[in-house]
Amino acid sequence: MMSANWPTTMDANSIASLNTRSEVRSFLAKKLNELIGDQPQQALPAELADLATGSDREVIETSRRLDKSFETVSAAEKKAPDTAMGRKIRDLFAKALQRMKELPPDPRETLHAKPHAPTDGAPASKARRARR
């Protein structure tokens, strides 16, 4: 059965106290492990499988996927324990994502960002002039 450690107001306060996006992702991963870590992946509902917290992009995509999957839940499904857990996890992701939006990007992540400028080694303005 699922853990009784549901995300609470205390979790929201804990998330608000985190100072970096990587701390938020670590907290999120820890909470997910507390909630569903003892259950095999195949025993989880499809919307709760593969919850990713490794990067900002993964948290964003997982949060969107959770939102979509719980938008169309029927009244009968809302009473199911798995649906209740899913909504709690969705809320936890939403709170974590909101906090991440308030924080600047982690320096290590910006080092790996792909440049949008031409990659011929010349600054963008020189590359444009060379093409003219």
Domain ranges of the chain: 9-131
Cα-based distances in Å from 9 to 13, 31, 58, 67, 127: 6, 13, 24, 20, 52
Average pLDDT estimate for 102-111: 76
Say whether 91 sits in a helix, a strand or coil: helix
Regarding pTM above 0.85, the answer is no
Is the confidence at residue 127, as pLDDT, over 70? Answer: no
Residue 22 in contact with residue 106, Cβ under 8 Å? yes
The string of pLDDT tens digits covering residues 1-39 is 344 444 456 677 889 999 999 999 999 999 988 888 777
> Which residue, among 56, 40, 96, has the nearest Cα to 48 in the 3D structure?
40
